[in-house]
Amino acid sequence: MKILAIETSCDETGIAVLEFAPLGTEPNLNKPKILFSVLSSQVDIHAKTAGIVPEIASRIHSEILPHFLIQVDQKIGLGNVDYIATTSSPGLLGSLLVGNNFSRMLSFLYNKPILAVDHIMGHFYSSFVKLPLNKIEFPALGLIVSGGHTALILATAKNKFKIIGGTRDDAAGEAFDKVARLLNLSYPGGPAISQAAAKIKNSPFKFTTPMLKSNDFDFSFSGLKTQVRQTVEKITSNCHPEQSEEAQPASSYKMDKKIRPVKSSLPEESMRLSNMVKSQIAFAAQTAIVDSLVKKSFSATTKYHPKTFILGGGVAANQLLREKLITELSVIMPKNKIFIPELKYATDNAAMIAIASYMGLPKNITAWDKLETSSSSNL
């Protein structure tokens, strides 16, 4: 069984063809085989605006997809696939529509059923792109963290999902982007914050771990962004304009709770921070974000006793998060039941969409004229 998958939910254009054993085959034999996989990222383009411009993203998808489809046809033959899988939700509506309309066209021309896939489920299964699918034991608990999503998802079966905790405002990846912008670091913010933080071993700055005492599994990161902004404003208001690399060490500042409001033009003023101070703030911000994600995951694991724990999403590439999750969760569950995707599959990609589409069979089968596109998740 061959599934052609298309992923265009945000700013990555991906196409993959995966081969699966037929449904009903013994689970231990059901290991997917990647026949074709390509991915094009728009990061360099959107870095110029320090964020994604939806109209540009969708236009680039429409320019790249035909070239990828030609490659698939030359290597495998578009008529030789059994299903067309496509990310139908959630994401940027314009980007989703580009991929969905190409999928509709292929479905109509080659008379192939469409498999509608929720993007979050793609991240949920991203760790299993190269693993036998019987590695997934239910109930399974997933932490999905990306630029647009932060959620804890409980799966009692392959088609039975429940979001037990979500973000009330900013997603974790969005928080990284905003903190990086406040520090005048590069886009995307996650890698930039991680690289800055890796330059030091500790920080004099301490930010509150978000939602630590909320008694639920929800997340919130907007308050952390405010703490970072106030910290930067306080430091820059105490610095002279000519101070840059020679700025005072962070330890010399009194980080009291009452921070005097000042007029600022962030992130321009953050250019006056030394690289050391930026690293110290990045270190503290990353620690607070990761601690929130890990502690909530630990609490949910303690309550629901999953047989499998899964990390997914772009923020899954964060090394501190990967290490702390394994360290903390392995105390209460077997380490070999904690699954974290390869770095190449942490970001948006079509291979994970193919896996999710296969796991969704037969519930997710639809016709080309019945496919629905939504910017919101249907979970």
Residue 94 sits in a domain whose CATH number is: 3.30.420.40
**b/e sequence 41-62, b meaning 16+ C-beta within 10 Å:** ebeeebeeebbbeeebbbebbb
- Say if residue 372 is in the same domain as residue 321: no
Sign of CA pseudo-dihedral 317, 281, 222, 168? positive
pLDDT top residue among 142 and 26? 142
Contact between 92 and 52 (Cβ < 8 Å): yes
Segments of the chain assigned E as strands? 2-7, 12-19, 33-41, 83-89, 114-118, 140-145, 150-157, 160-166, 308-312, 338-339, 365-366
Q: State whether the Cα torsion 144-149-154-155 is positive or negative.
A: negative
Please give the tally of structural domains in the chain: 2
- Do 337 and 347 lie in one domain? The reply is no
Give the model's confidence band at 22: pLDDT under 50 very low, under 70 low, under 90 confident, else very high: confident
Asked, as a colleague might, if the bond just before 139 is cis with ω within 30 of 0, I would say yes
Segment 241-256 shows an average pLDDT of 36
pLDDT at 270 over 80: no
- Residues 216 and 185 grouped into a single domain: yes
Q: What confidence category does residue 256 fall into, taking pLDDT thresholds of 50, 70 and 90?
A: very low
In a shared domain, residues 18 and 45:
yes
Taking residues 222-226, report their average pLDDT: 93
**Max CA distance (Å), the chain:** 70
Tokens of 43: 């990061």
3, 112: one domain: yes
Q: Note whether 41 and 57 are same-domain residues.
A: yes
> Does the pLDDT value for residue 3 go beyond 90?
yes
Whether 302 and 347 share a structural domain: no
Per the confidence metrics, is the pTM higher than 0.85? yes
**Strand 338-339 and strand 308-312: pairing?**
parallel
Q: Bridge-partner residues for 234, per DSSP?
A: none
Q: What is the mean predicted confidence (pLDDT) over 239-263? A: 39
Q: Provide the 3-class DSSP secondary structure of residue 12.
A: strand
* pLDDT at residue number 31: 80
Same domain, 68 and 96: yes
Residues 7 and 123 reside in one and the same domain: yes
Calpha distance 285→175 (Å, rounded) = 9
Regarding whether 366 and 258 lie in a shared domain, the answer is no
Question: Structure tokens of 91?
Answer: 């994401």
Same domain, 285 and 312: yes
Instruction: Check: CB of residue 247 under 8 Å from CB of residue 277.
Output: yes
Tokens of 51: 């964020």
Question: What is the token pair recorded at 311?
Answer: 């990390």
Distance, in Å, from the CA atom of 229 to the CA atom of 225, rounded to the nearest integer, reads 6
Q: What angle do CA 175, 182, 193 make, to 5 degrees?
A: 60
Write down the mean pLDDT value for the chain.
89
Say yes or no: 178 and 45 in one domain.
no
- As a whole number of Å, the end-to-end CA separation of the chain is 26
Q: Which domain holds residue 256?
A: 138-341
In this predicted structure, the answer to whether residue 269 has a pLDDT above a threshold of 80 is: no
